[in-house]
Chain A
Amino acid sequence: MADTRLKTIGELLARQGILIAFAIFLIGFAVFSDRFMTPENLATVIRQAAIIGVMAVGVTVVVIGGNLDLSVGSMLSFSTVLVVDLHDKIGPELAIVVMLGATLVLGAVNGFLVGVARLNSLIVTLGMLSAIQGLTLIYTGGKNVDILDQETTWFAIFGRGYVAGIATPIVMFLGLALFMHVVMAYTPFGRRVYAVGGNPTAAVFSGIRRSRLVFSTYLISALTTGIAALILGSRVMGSQNNVGQGYELLVLAGVILGGTSLLGGSGNILKTVIGVLILGFIQNGLLLMGYPYYAQWLVTWVVIILAVWLDIAAKRGRLLSPIA
């Protein structure tokens, strides 16, 4: 009896642990800083988290499909540099088209190597991480790129604009997350991604074309990275060559915090959103409390370990492994 009760509590924690953690963080920061719970601050945090968040939506799909994508950080650098640089050369419309096209090509390379050639996704995307960084540096020769006419270009809408009174990055982030959530939860495509990630062999035997499916998950993460580049480029109106450096880990941290299993086959886009917001609130809350933002890395690590541990502990019904 007691054992089952423990299990139900454990299950509750595992299922909703992320929401509970989220609530605890919000309350904690609200207690320590009177500025934290203001609407302006909450909007600021969600707007800041939008870039990581948009990327995390795509990466969640890749991870549910049983793979990793570590290349999104340098892909973000590349795409941002490209769209900002081309903005003044060929105009914003064409720049966006070219950037999204080029980003999809990079995603297709990932997708081909992992999906079709069946190479290990960690190795492929880790390699792409440095390859794309190199590509970016070759493209610019190291120069920062800037948009000169920042005041009148309509490109400003993505990072600085408002839709119905809400900052565009927030609308894009939450809109995309909702859309992807519906796709993953309610469409045959989504179910196939879960199937391939959960049990590839069984999925193939039930007639799912695994190669094509994995390929498309990488196109999705490339597309979301391209969209994040729009927000970032427009927000900063310029770009450094290494602007997305390290973002892959923040993105992955958000995905893991959201409870998506790195083994594939399970995960939830909306919980990724919560995971990303937790990261954003940690950063903002610590800054408001006067800590240097490096403190967030430490805190983030602790939170991730707790989240993963809770998840495992709930699954096996005890904190430590029964096998010594």
Chain B
Amino acid sequence: MTLKLAAALVATTALIGASGVAQAETYKIGITQNNVGVDSYQTTYEKAFIAAAEENENVEAVVLDAGGDVARQIAQIQDLIQQNVDAIIIWPTNGKAVVPAVRKAHQAGIPVIVTNSNIAEEGFDFIASFSGPDNITQGARSAELMCEALDGKGQIVQISGQPGYTTAIERAKGFEDRLPEVCPDVELMETQPGDWNREKSQRVMESFLVKYDTIDGVYAGDDNMGVGALNAAKAAGRAGDIAFVGATNFAVGYEAMARGEYYGSIYQSPVDDAEAALKTALDVLEGKDVPDLNYFDTPKITKANMDEFDKPVF
């Protein structure tokens, strides 16, 4: 709608080169997602992306899903190159394995935008931009929330996401680096992975509760796991003594927060994520100056400010 003809021409000629047919009116944008349907976040993301693309009459979207399979994702990137799309958005199934395919797209003159979780560093030269949440900042903000909740003193445990998963690593790093800065008197006693799985997290927390007589706080890599930990603490009758801080606010976390059982989280909307990815792709195509790391904001949410946010749909 706000598309400028000149910018479009510049973008198409510059990026598609001789092989491109001048498409001043529409951009054909291909997206290959990680694994739609495996969780609510990704499902909502896809819906929001399709809705945003349909709303913009200048965009023709080719929406693909790798189903969590790296080989399929690489094939999809190759297909998109063959189809000569104007830009490719990729939600990597594996940050390293997709790099050669991304390089191919780059060599074919097609700008690649990475969404949600970034590809490996060796691929940075081949992408136009990364659009997504800043997980390190999210971890740091969670540390600040924990600090607030405990008044700067206490013993805590961490339940992290799936090992090897960038989001899990970055959130844990952001949290662990920030915590001693804001709260030197809060001690992180132990970290165990909960694999983004509520039941596993519940089991891990049950063991923590046996192992430690005093737990003042739990930081979980997302609210799904955080609620699992809350379940365990409630069953042991110790929930009242423990502050729960999570990330990626889920509907269950939002509700627990409203009940005062869950201290705080980080609000990350899959709708914002999807819209930011599409907007970044369009900005790149229109030749705008786009930062390499194009983060969308993911604010803190606690009981105090939760009315400003819609309840998450997942």
A-side interface residues toward B, CB under 8 Å?
33, 35, 38, 40-41, 44, 48, 137, 141-144, 146, 148, 160, 232, 235-238, 240-243, 283-284, 287-288, 290, 292-294
Query: Are B211 and A288 in contact (CB-based, < 8 A)?
Result: yes
Q: Which 6 A-B pairs have the closest CB atoms?
A: A142-B37, A142-B43, A287-B207, A143-B40, A41-B210, A137-B37
Q: Which of B70-78, B146-154, B191-199 contacts A (4 or more CB under 8 A)?
A: B191-199
Quick one: which of A144, A241, A288 contacts B207, CB cutoff 8 A?
A: A288
Contacts A40-B210, A142-B42, A293-B192 given; does A240 touch B224 at CB 8 Å? yes
B246-268 interface bits toward A, Cβ cutoff 8 Å, 1 = contact, 0 = none: 00001110010000000000000
Q: Whole-angstrom distance between the alpha carbons of A204 and B167 in the complex?
A: 57
B189-226 interface bits toward A, Cβ cutoff 8 Å, 1 = contact, 0 = none: 01011000111001110110011000000000000100
Query: Are B43 and A48 in contact (CB-based, < 8 A)?
Result: no
Query: Are A144 and B206 in contact (CB-based, < 8 A)?
Result: no
Query: Are B210 and A44 in contact (CB-based, < 8 A)?
Result: yes
Q: Whole-angstrom distance between the alpha carbons of A142 and B68 in the complex?
A: 13
Contacts A236-B228, A294-B163 given; does A141 touch B43 at CB 8 Å? yes
Query: Are A240 and B198 in contact (CB-based, < 8 A)?
Result: yes
Query: Are A288 and B210 in contact (CB-based, < 8 A)?
Result: yes
Q: Whole-angstrom distance between the alpha carbons of A238 and B204 in the complex?
A: 17
Query: Are B224 and A144 in contact (CB-based, < 8 A)?
Result: yes
Query: Are A160 and B235 in contact (CB-based, < 8 A)?
Result: yes
Interface residue count on the B side (C-beta < 8 Å) = 31
CB distance from A55 to the nearest CB of B (A): 14
Quick one: which of B39, B207, B251 contacts A146, CB cutoff 8 A?
A: B251
- Chain A residues whose CB sits within 8 angstroms of the CB of B39 once the complex forms: 142, 144, 240-241
Beyond A143-B314, A235-B202, A288-B211, 20 additional pairs, beta carbon < 8 A: A35-B210, A35-B211, A38-B210, A48-B206, A141-B43, A142-B37, A144-B250, A146-B252, A236-B198, A236-B231, A238-B252, A240-B197, A241-B39, A243-B197, A284-B207, A287-B192, A287-B207, A287-B211, A293-B193, A293-B204
Closest residue of chain B to A146 (Cβ to Cβ) is B252
Query: Are A242 and B198 in contact (CB-based, < 8 A)?
Result: no
Q: Whole-angstrom distance between the alpha carbons of A288 and B193 in the complex?
A: 14
Query: Can you name 17 A-B pairs with beta carbons within 8 Å?
Result: A35-B211, A40-B210, A41-B210, A44-B206, A48-B206, A142-B37, A143-B40, A143-B314, A144-B224, A238-B198, A240-B197, A240-B224, A243-B197, A243-B199, A288-B207, A292-B193, A294-B163
B interface SS class: helix
Closest residue of chain A to B251 (Cβ to Cβ) is A146
- Chain B residues whose CB sits within 8 angstroms of the CB of A40 once the complex forms: 210
Query: Are B224 and A290 in contact (CB-based, < 8 A)?
Result: no
Q: Which of the listed residues A35, A142, A236, A292 has the most CB atoms from chain B within 10 Å of its own CB?
A: A142
Q: Whole-angstrom distance between the alpha carbons of A287 and B197 in the complex?
A: 17
Q: Whole-angstrom distance between the alpha carbons of A146 and B193 in the complex?
A: 22
CB distance from B99 to the nearest CB of A (A): 26
Closest residue of chain B to A284 (Cβ to Cβ) is B207
Q: Whole-angstrom distance between the alpha carbons of A177 and B40 in the complex?
A: 36
Q: Whole-angstrom distance between the alpha carbons of A207 and B202 in the complex?
A: 49
Does B36 make an interface contact (CB < 8 A)?
A: yes
- Chain A residues whose CB sits within 8 angstroms of the CB of B224 once the complex forms: 144, 240
- Chain B residues whose CB sits within 8 angstroms of the CB of A240 once the complex forms: 39, 197-198, 224
Query: Are A241 and B314 in contact (CB-based, < 8 A)?
Result: no
Closest residue of chain A to B234 (Cβ to Cβ) is A160
Q: Whole-angstrom distance between the alpha carbons of A44 and B235 in the complex?
A: 11
B168-208 interface bits toward A, Cβ cutoff 8 Å, 1 = contact, 0 = none: 00000000000000000000001011000111001110110
CB distance from B228 to the nearest CB of A (A): 7
Q: Whole-angstrom distance between the alpha carbons of A284 and B255 in the complex?
A: 30
- Chain B residues whose CB sits within 8 angstroms of the CB of A236 once the complex forms: 198-199, 202, 228, 231
Does B38 make an interface contact (CB < 8 A)?
A: yes
- Chain B residues whose CB sits within 8 angstroms of the CB of A44 once the complex forms: 206-207, 210
Closest residue of chain B to A148 (Cβ to Cβ) is B255
Contacts A35-B210, A236-B199 given; does A144 touch B231 at CB 8 Å? no
